[in-house]
Amino acid sequence: MRCSFDRLRLPVVVVLTFCLFCTPVFAQKLTSMGPLGGDVRSLVADPVRPNLLYLGTADGYIYGSQDAGEHWQPLGHVADGVLTAIVVSADASGVVFSSVWTAEKDGEGGGVFSSRDNGKTWQTAGLAGHAVRALVQAPSDPRILVAGALDGVFRSNDSGKNWVRITPPEDLELRNFDSLAIDPQNPEIIYAGTFHLPWKTIDGGKNWEPIYSGMIDDSDVLSMEVDSSNPQRIFASACSGIYRSEDAGANWRKVEGVPYSARRTLVIKQDPSNSAILFAGTTEGLWKTADGGAVWHRISPKDWVINSILVEPSASASSGDERVATSIARTRLLIGTEDRGVLGSDDSGDHFLPFNEGFHHRQIVSIALDAGKPGTVAMVLANSPDKIVQTEDGGLTWSSIDAGLNRNSITQIFSSPVGWYATLDSGGLARFDLQAGKWSSPKNTDAFRFVVNDMAFAEKIWFAASPAGLFVTRDYGVTWNTLPFSSGDLAVDSVRVSADGQKLRIVSSNAMVFSDDAGKSWTWHDLPLDSGGAIRLEFAANGTLLAAARNALYVSRDDGATWQKLQNGLPAAKANDFLIHNDQWLVSMQGRGLFLSQDQGASWSPVKEPGGTGVYGQLSILASGAADGLIYAGSFHHGLYTLDLPRISASKTRVSASTGK
């Protein structure tokens, strides 16, 4: 049975100023707030310039470091998919290759890509449509590249210009390749690990033989490493354990010492300065041996999942950092983890520190802003060991606020008049007690253990939208009661309330229901029939409403009596999120970026972003209302940003409520 595990300090605040519109030109600031870290799938150093490092993510982004990992910066986007490997050519050309694996509706795909400008721009380098899970360069001939894909092994003798399949195309065993290694002296000798045991060729792929004597049958070979000082010694990591061969793979012996629960060893690496030292990255931490594999011991916490390992001898940098100064003439060990980013050690793994400055690749699920405290934000994260974090200093520092959840997962977080409130995926609510520093369920809320879809707050009246209807509290959450509709209870998807608590606007099953008397009476409203129905609704001033449908935005300037589709400048795409921020309307269109209107929706312009970052296309959440007056934008994978958008005079933005022109 195959292992079912696919490899997938203070933050630096970066301010970028760039063109907003082509005509006229407006300046705009985009500021990263972190949090730092994220999912790292591949990690490699330039063999010619060892302080130049590259980092690859699970969603196709490349980051670079010029000081051995002290600082990172986003470089570009390779392709949508997991960056399974990065190879920097050893011929001093500076060409960077990357292999990509994608899961698609009709199967799996990917390919090999190359960059000639240090990772900023990428072009296809062959094997388009092939799910490439391993890529290596021959140590003795940098022109030779070998790629392992789900449908075979491929070889290029001209640095990726042309590829030839070197495995039989219909062979039932020579497929599903997960790892590769090439003999350091002879590029014709190639080792290849599959989902089911390893293989070897000694003639460049003309003939293949299985090499599994001594291995447990049906071992997914996740990583292979040829001993740099003795090519006859091969290490292989599999879901059944770590193996060593002293006769070039003819026979294998299981290396003891790593417990069964940690045997999903995703990567194994040898220290280039000491062949007896090896590191094994597993799903239960990092393991080390100093005697060629006879004895192993764990050198990291058990809950670290290690996807990649980089061992760099004599790493040095010129930043003046105390830890950098002590690292000169020492081996720097860097590990890429599933959700903690890059961690590093300059003392052979005795101590680890985060090496994430500039690497912010978190997925934001929900944002809450404290309107009374500038720079105070709470967020729910998806790819982080800390599921809920908070900053009180505008992102300079983040702290975990997970305590008290007892393994419950939070789906959304809200800022109420009495602090943070959150909805639980198991149903019900939780409130963060600032003095106790932990979450607890509000009293008397057990009566509605339904899933809460949305919340809205006025000063003295709050609402909770749920599949069981709309609930209301008038005593700051002490007691909750259902709010009946004249037509019977409805499943409520979202709710908005005016500051005085009188006007309620809800979305229910793609229809809209309005109340102007705090829920005593209701009226029904619908978008045009071809819209597919409303998904979300927002208030604006003077009876103006903004609604999102499946593929368009609509505006009403008469409190929902009539609706107009917004098209001038907007692409036909789904709105990830939108907001009304003073006289600025902002919408994030899925895959298309940000669009801004400063004339109440009459026209829209794309907001330009820094080249190659792909941040705006990933934005999923927009929020405003904090005391600092900024717009906050959370992304699928790039963390949290603040936007300081330009404003034009009110005389140029005023739109007629009757005509919309």
Chain segment 308-318, per-residue pLDDT in tens: 999 986 544 44
Q: What is the mean pLDDT of residues 578-606?
A: 87
Distance between CA 236 and CA 293 in Å, rounded?
11
Q: Distances in Å between the alpha carbon of 340 and those of 377, 546, 604?
A: 21, 39, 38
The yes-or-no verdict on residue 644 having pLDDT over 60 is yes
Nearest one of 319, 309, 303, 316 to 344, comparing CA atoms: 309
Nearest one of 492, 442, 499 to 464, comparing CA atoms: 492
Give the 3-state secondary structure of residue 531: helix
What pLDDT does 647 receive?
A: 61
What does the pLDDT look like over 490-528, one tens digit per residue? 889 999 999 899 999 999 988 999 999 999 899 999 999
The yes-or-no verdict on residue 57 having pLDDT over 70 is yes
The yes-or-no verdict on residue 158 having pLDDT over 70 is yes
What does the pLDDT look like over 431-489, one tens digit per residue? 999 889 999 886 655 556 788 999 999 988 999 999 888 999 998 888 888 887 755 56
Q: Are 616 and 351 in contact (CB under 8 A)?
A: no
The yes-or-no verdict on residue 654 having pLDDT over 50 is no
Cβ count within 10 A of residue 478: 11
pTM reported for the whole predicted model: 0.84
Helix (H) or strand (E) holding 650: helix 650-653
Question: Which residue has better confidence, 20 or 618?
Answer: 618
Q: Are 217 and 171 in contact (CB under 8 A)?
A: no
What pLDDT does 28 receive?
A: 61
Q: Distances in Å between the alpha carbon of 542 and those of 105, 197, 534?
A: 46, 69, 21
What does the pLDDT look like over 538-554, one tens digit per residue? 988 788 999 998 878 99
What pLDDT does 582 receive?
A: 79
What does the pLDDT look like over 329-384, one tens digit per residue? 467 999 999 999 999 999 989 999 999 999 989 999 999 999 888 889 999 998 88
**Cα 258 to chain centroid, rounded:** 30
Of 8-12, 138-142, 471-475, give the lowest mean pLDDT range.
Answer: 8-12
Mean pLDDT of the chain: 85
What pLDDT does 287 receive?
A: 92
Cβ count within 10 A of residue 499: 10
What pLDDT does 447 receive?
A: 56
Q: How confident is the model at residue 2 (pLDDT cuts 50, 70, 90)?
A: very low
Alpha-carbon radius of gyration of the chain = 28
Of 118-127, 402-411, 619-628, give the lowest mean pLDDT range.
Answer: 619-628
What does the pLDDT look like over 170-189, one tens digit per residue? 888 999 999 999 999 999 99
CA angle 79, 69, 269 (to 5 degrees): 80
What one-letter code names the amino acid at 582?
Answer: N
Q: Distances in Å between the alpha carbon of 562 and those of 299, 528, 586?
A: 65, 9, 22
Q: Are 381 and 654 in contact (CB under 8 A)?
A: no
What does the pLDDT look like over 254-298, one tens digit per residue? 887 776 666 688 999 999 888 889 999 999 899 999 988 888 899
Cβ count within 10 A of residue 638: 26
State the residue for tokens 């109440």.
600
What is 527-646's CATH number, 2.40.160.20, 2.130.10.10, 1.10.10.350, 3.40.50.300? Answer: 2.130.10.10
Distance between CA 332 and CA 574 in Å, rounded?
46
What pLDDT does 229 receive?
A: 86
Strand ranges in 256-395 using DSSP code E only, listed in sequence order: 265-271, 274-282, 285-289, 297-298, 306-312, 332-337, 342-345, 353-354, 360-361, 364-369, 377-381, 388-391
Both tokens assigned to 73: 């910066």
What pLDDT does 82 receive?
A: 93
CA angle 544, 24, 602 (to 5 degrees): 20
Q: Are 339 and 382 in contact (CB under 8 A)?
A: no
Distance between CA 384 and CA 573 in Å, rounded?
29
- Give the helix, strand, coil percentages of the chain, each rounded to 5: 5, 45, 55
Distance between CA 421 and CA 374 in Å, rounded?
19
What does the pLDDT look like over 20-52, one tens digit per residue? 333 333 446 778 898 999 999 999 999 989 899
Q: Are 149 and 162 in contact (CB under 8 A)?
A: no
Nearest one of 416, 418, 423, 385 to 402, comparing CA atoms: 385
CA angle 443, 425, 420 (to 5 degrees): 50
Of 230-244, 322-336, 407-421, 633-647, give the lowest mean pLDDT range.
Answer: 322-336
What pLDDT does 646 receive?
A: 66
Q: What is the mean pLDDT of residues 131-149?
A: 95
Distance between CA 241 and CA 262 in Å, rounded?
8
Distance between CA 638 and CA 622 in Å, rounded?
14
